[in-house]
Every structure is written in structure tokens, then in C-alpha cells.
Amino acid sequence: MHSLLIAATATMLMLAGTALGLFLNRRLPEEHLTDRTMDIVKLATGIVATIAGLVLSLLITSAKNSYDSVAMDLKGAAADFIMLDRTLEQFGDRAIDVRTTIRQAIEKALKTNLDLRASNDEQIGAEVHLHGTAQRLIRTMAMVNPGDEILRDRALSLAYDLSKARWMLQQEANDTLPLAFQLVVMLWLALIFASFGLFTPPNPIALGALVVGAISVSASIFLINELSTPFYGIVRISTTPLGDALKIIGPLR
């Protein structure tokens, strides 16, 4: 809804700019609408359009790269869950408690569908306790067989990596584009469409083309916001890697 609202606002501002341009076209005296005036307006509009186009293209590229990076981090975390469980499995019954805790962490992430944006203090505290419990159980496991210490150190390293990945994902979930920045871009777009309306003949074909153009530009703003918030919205990270990890881990034995 957040992305749709911003995209709709951008569309309304561009259409409002077009309406302002059409209004000025009818109200301004002819000497203000000469060919020389049109050339100057087109030059200024071209500068603004170039800046706006560059900013939008860079934002789309940056948002897509960020989205792909988060998706890879999630796949890496799922792989670490599997490796941690397989490492702990070698301890036998001594690791049942910590393996159960790991399953609970995965199930909790799947239950919330990775929606990390609204984690309150109580939820964060519960997750801190869950991760801390897993690490404590690993540290306090009895070392019975040769090589147990090496396995324990490996398990602790994986557990720390998973905790770090969890809090990195928490930060990325709340890392949205500043609203003021988006408003500046939308203002540029409104000015561009105002210049279009200033010299556009008021016929259905021309006006329809401007409406389609405004919607298309707003779609790019929508995509930027969706890709910038990978854990909620319409375009969101899939929980499939975690679900697959849970299937691979399977029932405790």
C-alpha cells in the first residue's frame, strides 16, 4: 500500500502539472507563447528531464541490486541453518534441545512470512532470547568424543553468523527511501509535465499520451519502492529457501 500510495501521488502531481500547463496555455497572452519562448522552455525542460531520468534509472538499478543482495543473503542463511543442523546432528541426543531451538527460529520466520518491519520490543526480545539460548546450549554441550570441540566451534561460528544475518535483515527491512527525496523527484516530474501541457493541443490523443506517460513514470517509482522494501509489499522476497531448509532438516532423530 505504501508503494501504491506514493505512485498514485506521483501520477496525480504529474497530471496536475499537465492541467496547470493547459490552463496557462489558454490564459497567457500570445507573446508569451512564441517559438523562441517554446525553445527556451524545451531547453529548461530537457535539463530537468535528463536529471530526473538519470536519478530514476540509478534508483531502479540500486534498488534491484539491493533486492538481489538480500535474496542471496536469505539463501545463504538457509544454507547455514542446514549446515548447523547437520553439524549438531553428529552430537546425537546431546544436541536435541538446540536443534529444536533452531527449528523454532525457522518456523517463526515462516509464520511471519519474513515481515520484519513491525517487530516490537517484545518480539525483538524474544528473538534475542531464542538466538542466545541456541548459542548457550551449543557452548554448554558435553564434549565426549574426539573431535567434539572442533564440531562445537564450527556450530558456534554458524550460530553467530546466523544471528548477524538476522539483524542485518532487520535493518534492511526498514531501509526505505526518504520521503523528502521522493517528493523532490516528483516535483521535477510535475514541472516536466507542466511544460508538456503548456504546448500540448487540447485533443484526446495528446492528452491520452500524457496520461499514459504519467502512469508509466509512476510505475517506475512504484518498482523502486517495492524493491527497496523486500520483506513486504507486492514484490517481496520468497520464503522458499527457509521452507526448503526446514524440509531438508526434516524431523529430529
Percent of the chain whose predicted confidence (pLDDT) is above 70: 89
| pLDDT at res. 235 | 84
Domain ranges, ordered by start, for the chain:
2-249
The rounded distance, in Å, linking the Cα atoms of 218 and 11 is 6
Q: Is the pLDDT of residue 122 over 60?
A: no
Q: Is the pLDDT of residue 159 over 80?
A: yes
| pLDDT at res. 7 | 92
| pLDDT at res. 124 | 57
Quote the pTM value: 0.79
CA geometry: angle at 237 spanning 234 and 238, to 5°?
Answer: 105
Mean pLDDT within 167-175 = 71
Distances (CA, A) of 110 to 68, 93, 133: 20, 26, 20
Percent of the chain whose predicted confidence (pLDDT) is above 90: 24
Split at pLDDT 50, 70, 90, the class of 116 is low
| pLDDT at res. 113 | 65
Query: What digits encode the pLDDT tens for the residues 16-50?
Result: 999 999 888 888 787 777 778 888 888 998 999 99
| pLDDT at res. 178 | 81
Burial class from Cβ neighbours inside 10 Å (0-12, 13-18, 19+) for residue 203 reads: exposed
